[in-house]
Amino acid sequence: TVELKNWIADEPKLPLEVNVKIRYRHPLVRGIIKQQATYNKQHTTGAQKNTVLEVEFLERQKAITPGQSAVFYADDNEVLGGGIIL
């Protein structure tokens, strides 16, 4: 599960199969991003919309660590966006 921080361009239509990097120097792995929930979170600057995504990996992954970043890549290695692993 990933708390989305941003999409680099327009928000893509989900579900979407992408390459995912879950650790620094970790190879890209295939996964399917699915939207799980959207909620408003209060910040000092006001309410902010937060999105929680589910990432279903096509192969089993080890040591997925909360607090690390998950970065989503298109097939041409263009960065699509990313968030924090929950």
In a 10 Å sphere around its CB, with 0-12 CB exposed, 13-18 middle and 19+ buried, how is residue 47 labelled?
A: exposed
DSSP 8-state symbol, 27 = P
Write down the pLDDT at residue 82: 96
Global pTM value:
0.86
Bridge pairing between strands 29-43 and 16-21? antiparallel
Cα 50 from Cα 29, distance rounded (Å): 25
Q: Give mean pLDDT in consecutive 10-residue pieces for the chain, a chain of 86 residues.
A: 92 96 94 88 70 95 94 97 96
Residue type, 26: H
The answer to whether residues 48 and 59 touch, using CB atoms and an 8 Å cutoff, is: no
Write down the pLDDT at residue 61: 96
Write down the pLDDT at residue 71: 98
Distance of CA 31 to the CA centre of its chain: 10
* Continuous segment of H or E residues that includes residue 20: strand 16-21
